[in-house]
Structure 1
Amino acid sequence: MIEAATDITEDAFLGGQLRLRQKRSGHRAGHDAILLAAATQAKAGDHVVDLGAGIGAAGLALARRVAGIHLSLVEIDPELAELARTNAAANGMTAKTILLDVTADAQAFAENGLGPDSADVVLMNPPFNDPARHRGSPDQARHSAHVATEQTLHAWVHAARRILRSNGVLTLIWRADGIADVLAALSRGFGSLSVQPVHGEAGRPAIRILVRAVKGGRAAPRLLPGLVLNDESRVPKNEVKEILEGRAVLPLAVP
């Protein structure tokens, strides 16, 4: 059951094209989810799976941009899964909401319609904060959504690899200082990597990386120009506003 209405907010995304209900406390969807959607390539007819979907922000933002995809939202938290289901319906979208741990075994995935080679596209925003350097929130839901264990990334990539068809595409967002971990996790079964750094401000180290990988891909890896979110006044740059408002996509989403 979703908590009382006073514990829920309704927020506008994509310049008001998408309105999402989410819990006032705990993990809240934001720029990372929208950037992930804007970096994901998909076309009508594709089966798209959002792993760790939360309230559905990334998957539904992608569905708003690309009509005709078959969207599955996978979430372990029952309250968030129910919010994802109601958010899809409230925005006039069709999505299958699946209550499932991303680290579950192949049989559990198959029982929920996610057997091997069943997806064309997977997108995911796994918990990525390093527990050695990040003091987790006392709120358990928020802690689980943000803090990774040593196995988190490998387990999530493994799940994506299992359900993706050959030449299927995985797009993910991760913290920039964990790029070595991302490359290691993708070294088995994925290739044709494209990486775009995301900087909070010009001249500062990247804070995120967006990564596109192809199951069985063999093309040389690409490092794309960085995306700078804010100008010198810490105001979102115009190109970023275009992306966040759903009027533009990132290079990773372009075939």
Structure 2
Amino acid sequence: MPADEAASTVAGAITTDSVLGGCLTLRQPLAGHRVGHDALLLAAFAPSDRRRVVDLGAGVGSCGLAFLTRVPQAQAVLVEIAPELADLARDNAALNGLSARVEVVAADVTGLGRPSGPALPPAGAADLVLTNPPFNDTAQHRTSPDDARARAHMAGSALLKDWVRAADRCLAARGVICLIHRPQALAELLAALDGRFGAVEILPVHPRPDRPAVRLLLRAVKGRRTPPTLLPGLILAAADGTPTAAADAVLRHGAGLAQAGLAQT
């Protein structure tokens, strides 16, 4: 899904887009993977009492910056493997007046928290990790010819486990991981979290009341062993296509899901 209020300015291969009802401005490539609802929903699902945030696979910074826009006391490290996207994330932090609260690291997520990895984010220091991991199994889907788009969408279950382990290394005890994925990956998600995270909360996201969920938002706590909980679902639009009040509050006004009456934290 495209970002709301899309593409106001095009400069070469870069567009400047307004999201969250104008609360956040993002520069992003015109071609390839584009900012959509997933990043904004993930930012809205994250608990607002967290202050030391790591965004894994940050792209142009949409999720991490959306969270910082809602939670002014927080600081974030945005981690992105593609240098050109990391540069845009840095530009976007400055564009939104968030540079003092943001560090951008161009690195492979799987190297985080290791002696041979980057100095930032430091191991065991974060209290929140946000991640929108690659979705699709490369064995079942044709890979996009666009490298950035392929990185954003293609992955197997082994890579999902690697990203969860990286989150575990970044987080302090009782730190929280929040992620978004497809419903078909629920078993793999729970398996990846098992042994490291518990008290998993699962929130289905439905396009309309009569449609199956198209996304799952998951939140879990490092070191907990409490069984999973299925939360009431978020419906994005009514049967006639009109955005629901909850979706409008989150996607156009930058509210957290708790503020919208869902996913209390």
TM-score with structure 1 length normalisation? 0.93
Q: Decide which of 97, 107, 112 is 2:115's aligned counterpart.
A: 107
Residue 57 of structure 2: aligned partner: 52
From 228, 232, 235, the equivalent of 2:242 is 235
Give the gaps of 5 or more residues in structure 1: none
Question: Which is worse superposed, 236-245 or 188-197?
Answer: 236-245
**Distance in 1 separating the partners of 2:132 and 2:172:** 20
More displaced stretch, 229-238 vs 146-155: 229-238
Match of 2:186 among 179, 183, 190: 179
Determine what percentage of the aligned residue pairs are the same residue: 48
Shift of 1:234: 2.6
Q: How does 1:154-233 map to 2 (within 5 A)?
A: 154-233=161-240
Residue matched to 1:24? 30
Out of 148, 154, 170, the position equivalent to 1:141 is 148
Q: Quote the residue 2:48 is aligned against.
A: 42
Q: Is the 8 A contact 1:196 1:210 kept in 2?
A: yes
Give the Cα separation in 1 of the matches to 2:248 and 2:23. Answer: 14
Aligned position for 1:8: 14
- Conserved in 2, the CA contact under 8 Å of 1:29 and 1:57? yes
Helix, strand or coil at the partner of 1:103: helix
Whole-angstrom distance in 2 between the partners of 1:136 and 1:229? 29
Task: Answer yes or no: is the 8 Å Cα contact 1:229–1:237 preserved in 2.
Answer: yes
Between 215-224 and 167-176, the greater mean CA deviation after superposition: 215-224
For residue 211 of structure 1, give the secondary structure of its aligned residue in structure 2.
strand
In structure 1, give the amino acid aligned to 2:28: Q
Q: Which runs of 5+ in 2 are unaligned?
A: 1-9
Contact 2:203–2:263 at 8 Å: present in 1 too? no
Q: Given the two structures, how large is their TM-score scaled by the length of structure 2? A: 0.89
> CA deviation digits over 1:39-69, x for unaligned, max 9?
001336x210000000000000000000021
Name segments (4+ residues, structure 1) moved above 6 Å: none
The count of aligned residue pairs is 250
> How much has 1:231 moved relative to structure 2?
1.5
Q: Given the alignment of the two structures, is residue 129 of structure 1 paired with residue 128 of structure 2, yes or no?
A: no
1:232 counterpart letter in structure 2: A
SS across alignment from 1:151: helix
Answer whether contact 2:110 2:166 (CA < 8 A) is retained: yes
